[in-house]
Amino acid sequence: MTVDTVRHDLAVAVAGLDHRFSARDGEVHALAGIDLVIEPGAFVTLAGPSGCGKTTLLRLVAGFESPTGGSITVGGRPVSGPGAERGVVFQRPTLYPWLDVRANVALGPRLRGASKTERLAIADRYLELVGLGDAAGLRPYELSGGMQQRAQIARVLANDPEIVLMDEPFGALDALTRERLQDELLTIWRETGKTILFITHDVEEAVFLGTRVLVMSPRPGRVVLDESARFSTAEHQVAPEELRALPEFAALAARVREAIRH
């Protein structure tokens, strides 16, 4: 199957990023002094203790909110709101219950003005890619949690964003489904060359998926560990369970865990 290839020129650059929320009982300093360049095609995983600002960082890159300090650019252009080149996958699938799976995935192309034939072809292609070819006619409530999350990923990919921002997308799934989706996501990433920023609480998931693993400190969040990883780029013939059993895998996981603890 062929999938759309993306332009490989949209780096995400975060400079001196600082973010404060004004809350009822004072100010919350969520992020402090974050400098980060995410190269096109990278698979960046982001871990850190609860409340350290991971989601805040992702939402700022998504353009859902404006930073109170510093800058974020994508392909050199300042982020001033959501954009078609950035797609967001949330922890809980956000599918329209009154539409079947195919129509949910075809919605983005429909809003972009694609013809019916075109958008259904796009939807089918991405449903196939996430292994939901047989479920196209079902309604979201007829899907398991893993299937709903696959459908959400297909829906985001159908908009062909160059950058996919994923906020704990597999956090609510059982371990087996989660591992299967991790493998599928890696296949999709290898086939499409998209840039991925992926938040996770799971150290093994961060190490397994990332070409680069980041850890943030407790609030205000700063990047305290930034290491490249190579497990997700390994050849297909190496089984995931063999990768996870490598001493280098355990060593990086230990460093990530240590960074989260401190």
Shortest reach from residue 159's CB to ligand ATP, in Å: 24
**Interface map 39-78 toward ligand ATP (x if CB under 6 A):** ---------x-xxxxxxx----------------------
Please, what is the minimum distance in Å from the beta carbon of residue 28 to ligand ATP?
Answer: 4
**Partners of residue 29 on adjacent β-strands:** 20
User: Considering the rule CB under 6 A, would residue 28 count as an interface residue with ligand ATP?
Assistant: yes
- By C-alpha distance, which of 259, 215, 221, 231 is closest to 47? 215
Q: For the CB of residue 114, give the shortest distance to ligand ATP in the complex, in Å.
A: 34
Nearer to ligand ATP, 160 or 167 (CB): 167
**Applying CB under 6 A, which of residues 102, 110, 125, 219 lies at the interface with ligand ATP?**
219
| Residue 251: half-sphere exposure toward Cβ, Cα within 13 Å | 8
In this complex, which beta carbon is closest to ligand ATP, that of residue 132 or of residue 223? 223
User: Distances in Å between the alpha carbon of 237 and those of 105, 176, 180, 241?
Assistant: 31, 20, 16, 11
With contact defined as beta carbons under 8 Å apart, do 117 and 145 qualify? no
Residue with tokens 């332009």: 7
CA–CA distance, 215 with 262 (Å, rounded to integer): 10
Residues that bind ligand ATP (rule: CB under 6 A) add up to a total of 13
Residues making contact with ligand ATP (CB under 6 A):
21, 23, 28, 30, 48, 50-56, 219
